A and B are shown apart, each in its own frame.
Chain A
Amino acid sequence: MARGNNEILANLEQIVGPEYVSNEEADLQPYTWDMTWAEPRMPDYVVMPKTVTEIQRILRLANHRKIPVVPYCNGTNIGGLCVPEEGGIIMDLKKMDRILKIDPETCYAVIEPGVSHAAFSAALKATNPQWKGEEFSKGFEFGWGVHPPSASVLAMAINHGIGHLNGRLGINSQLMSSMEVVLPTGEVAKIGSCAYSDSWHSFLPLPRMDGLFTGWLGTTGIVTKLGVWIFPIRPYRDVLTIAAASAEDITNYMVRWRHYSLCDEVTAVSWWLAQIPIVFPYSPKPADAPEFFSYTVISGWSEEELAYKRKMWKEVVEKERAKGTKLIDFEYPPEAKKGRTELPSRIVGSTKNYSKSCGGGIAWPGTFAPCKSWPILYEKWKEIYIRHGLSPATRFTDYQGAHYGMLRCMTPFNKRDPASVQAARDAMVECVRAGLPEGMLPYKPPVEYQNELNAVADAGYLYLMAKIKDMLDPNNIMNPGKLGIR
């Protein structure tokens, strides 16, 4: 069965060639849903551009005909963000998969949207940091998350993705250095140093116009090239672990440890998230099991550097214990340790850890929150989750220093059971509602969370947001419905 209309199809075929456009339901169906509770919606066309010019022409056509356009790379954002609320064109960017540049001296790379974490990590690992021909060490890395390796690096970074270096360097949108974007109306703009030369090393000291396309969930334009900072792989790495009987205790430890900015990452997972797969439906943890398990990754250029970091870490643990914080020694299983030090990983990135056999559904209240709120919200979320028959599979992760971090609850559910879907959605929306007054903000938010956010947002903020959106996208063609405004 075909959808859409033949005239538009013919126009799209003219732009990208008939091989790269389809309006057949058989081709459209994988783009109708994702792993979340989002109700499937059928697009009318899928189109796979290969060049910036093709994207410009598609957007001009879409504007002229007022057809929605949904930017798409792998559709694994865990937010229903590529489900086409109002049909229209799925712009699948996988054919734009070139790594355009890896500069091993200035330490940045330029990538297209279709570059996967798999391809990028392989290329970076094979490139050595150097200066004027002298190689300093082996391989580069970027902030690798625990997502499927087929996911796009660009889509992750522009939506405030989180990687394994976030404790040391901040989240991945902080590692972006330049971008090229096609505006909804078809013009192309370069932002950052690349607007002035072919050097893609920095947005600064220019006005931060990249903010118009970062965190906007594909509603303000198509980012066609992205410069990102890359980092030499440190040859020494270790994972240190500690557990705690409560969220309060683990937070105390994490806050003190990250105060010294000595780790690449410090994360804690609740007992339920430590189970593989996550316990579904909820069942209580054994009474003698710790509530939280924490790992921190340290890295360095020598064994001495690592030894120093281990010494400081031990001091932190001792200081906390002296204060009365109940910390429990535990050994990280070797497989998990390997997973942590060898990201991105198809094993860690697979959904097996979360939803191996529960019926295909995964979602999360994934949020950024001040660390102070972690224990408070964990107790609230735990009550909400258990009430809905779900395991509070919660994660705390610190982002660069003492400011804020991730608070998230990975939630498997059974898509075949309407009650299970409803329970998951209700629980998560309730968690978001409970968190907002504590300073918590959901990332890559599904529409339901956007509505919660907008309900309590500063009016001026919403006004400005709407104004920017209208200015950039006068016909509201870009991923409509995702911001909860327009």
Chain B
Amino acid sequence: MSHLLKNKNLKELAKIYDWVSMCTHCGNCKYGYEYGAATNFAAMLCVQGDKFNFDSYRGSRGKVSLARSLLHNRIGWSDKVAHVLFTCTSCGACQQMCETDIKPWILRMFETLRYEAWKQNVAIPENIKAWSSTIGTLYNPYKEPHENRLDWLPSDVRASLPKKAEYIYFAGCTASYRRKQLARATVSLLQKLKVDFTVVEDEWCCASPLLRTGQYDLAAKFVEHNKALPEKYGASTFITTCSGCYRTLGRDYTMDAPEGYADKYGKMTGVKVLHTTHLLEEMLKKGEIEFTGSFNKKVTYHDPCHLGRHAEVYETPRNVLKAVPGLELVEMYRNRKFSFCCGAGGGVRGGFADYSLETAGKRVKEAEATGAELVTSACPFCYTNLADAIELNKSPLKMEDVVEIIEPIVRRK
């Protein structure tokens, strides 16, 4: 009998075999589709399948099948297995399409497979291994010194921020080290909106890159450390402009499996996690924000997977954009739950830069086709990949984060 759990060495994977075995191999997850009176959508959504073709790479079916083949002892570990596992961006499009009981476990299964891969002698992408070897001491995956984490913050602003506050602005590693203007824009925005917030010098990586690449053991101290920050700074809320941090703090830290990692690291309780666009939407709704200028451009919004499919926040950033005077919002064909990933997630940007940028290039082309002058998003990581692809492809598009659009033209009423 070929469907018996024979490989007991893969302990983490074996633990979720009850769910893995619910997959019927139907292939719904290989293609995005919805039909109905008001809808007529059909498009490839799987970034990985779009590039690497074979069914092993297409949607969750290939990976579930891989998990089962390993658990049933029908295939062994190899570099190719690692390639299949680490070229998936964890974008979650396949999960959207699945309808059986494995559905909520799909992303967790990808991460569990990667966890198992680290214990094998297989080709984990070199770059992932490189940042993993230093993240434990530098607390960021960019191999930057921790002491420089707040370099983005002008010293006068830093001096003006309270020690304790209601909100902690959690900038995240990408904004702190690579997209500093986004962190600065966020702080300026929060100041303009008169939000009681602070920025903390002992922020560590939220652990998103660790969890997404299955490095459970290493992730533990990061979760533990960051979880303690609100109490230390008297805060009730984390606010972040990074979708990756939002997903990690808001779900991995706070929810039970399979959505979160409470089973491994315990639950963060009594702390709210907001994306900056949540706060903006809320204040707009209450009439607390006033626009002081306009943004006269045609704009298309790219859904970050971690904010969109992972956390189901689709309308909030759109509502914010729609409120901006002069801004004309146009949609790409693939949007919301049927969005196409920028290609950076799941460790792919670090592990396979060329493929990651090629994917971003596909998304940039789609954005161009809307006739927009500018593509916006709500994540510094998507920003980085899309902006790089814009440059690489000499696209006429401009890239700005939602926060960058809003910040110059708002004030608190």
Contacts and interface: CB of A to CB of B under 8 A. Distances in A.
Bound together: yes
Nearest to B49: A94
Interface in B79-102: 80-81, 83-84, 97-101
B80 A27 contact: yes
**Most chain-A CB neighbours within 10 Å: which of B54, B75, B84, B97?**
B54
Contacts, number: 168
A29 B75 contact: yes
B287 interface: no
A352 B34 CA distance: 16
A172 interface: no
Interface in B208-263: none
Contact of A26 (B56, B98, B99): B56
Interface stretch (B1-9, B135-143, B402-410): B1-9
Contacts of A347: 99
Interface stretch (A119-127, A376-384, A395-403, A436-444): A119-127
A92 interface: yes
A34 B25 contact: yes
Interface stretch (A16-24, A321-329, A450-458): A16-24
Contacts of A360: 3, 21-25
B61 A356 contact: no
Interface stretch (A144-152, A179-187, A195-203): A144-152
A355 interface: yes
Main secondary structure of the interface of B (DSSP, over half): loop
B100 A357 contact: yes
Interface string B21-33: 1111111101111
A347 B74 CA distance: 32
**Most chain-B CB neighbours within 10 Å: which of A22, A29, A74, A126?**
A29
A26 B37 CA distance: 40
**Most chain-A CB neighbours within 10 Å: which of B24, B25, B31, B74?**
B24
B78 A1 contact: yes
A280 to B, nearest CB: 12
A35 B31 contact: no
A345 interface: yes
A116 interface: yes
Contacts of A46: 54-55
B74 A22 contact: no
A51 to B, nearest CB: 15
A306 interface: no
A35 B24 contact: yes
Contacts of A362: 24
B35 A344 contact: yes
A122 B27 contact: no
Nearest to A151: B27
B24 A95 contact: no
A350 interface: yes
A40 B2 contact: yes
Contact of A116 (B31, B66, B97): B31
B97 A346 contact: yes
A474 interface: no
B87 to A, nearest CB: 11
B2 A149 contact: no
Contacts of B32: 118
Contacts of B42: 116, 118-119, 121-123, 149
A74 B40 contact: no
A283 to B, nearest CB: 19
Interface residues on B, range: 35 or more
Contacts of B154: none
A74 B101 CA distance: 21
A40 B74 contact: yes
B36 interface: yes
Nearest to B62: A30
A28 B53 CA distance: 12
A46 B41 CA distance: 29
B28 A150 contact: yes
Contact of A35 (B26, B62, B76): B26
A354 B26 CA distance: 11
A30 B61 contact: yes
Contact of A150 (B21, B33, B53, B54): B33
Interface stretch (A6-14, A286-294, A414-422, A461-469): A414-422
A76 interface: yes
Contacts of B33: 116, 118, 122, 149-150, 344, 346
**Most chain-B CB neighbours within 10 Å: which of A26, A148, A149, A346?**
A26
B40 A350 contact: no
Nearest to B1: A418
Given A95-B53, A116-B42, A118-B33, A33 B78 contact: no
A108 B35 CA distance: 21
A350 B80 contact: no
Nearest to A126: B40
Contacts of A193: none
Contact of B65 (A29, A119, A345, A346): A29
Interface string B44-58: 000000000111100
Contacts of B62: 30
A25 B30 contact: no
Nearest to A47: B54
A477 to B, nearest CB: 22
A351 B26 contact: yes
Contacts of B78: 1, 24-26
A31 interface: yes
A264 to B, nearest CB: 17
A34 B61 CA distance: 11
A29 B56 contact: yes
Interface in A130-177: 148-151
Contacts of A361: 24
A479 interface: no
A31 B35 CA distance: 28
B53 A48 contact: yes
A87 to B, nearest CB: 14
A357 B22 contact: yes
Contact of A346 (B2, B37, B99): B99
Interface string A35-72: 10001101000101000000000000000000000000
The 7 nearest A-B residue pairs measured at CB: A350-B99, A122-B42, A352-B99, A118-B33, A357-B101, A30-B55, A26-B80
5 contacts: A25-B75, A116-B31, A118-B35, A122-B40, A354-B24
Interface of B: 1-5, 21-28, 30-37, 40-42, 53-56, 61-62, 65-66, 69, 74-76, 78, 80-81, 83-84, 97-101
Given A34-B25, A346-B34, 11 more contacts: A22-B54, A29-B65, A31-B55, A35-B25, A46-B55, A118-B35, A119-B42, A345-B35, A350-B98, A360-B25, A415-B3
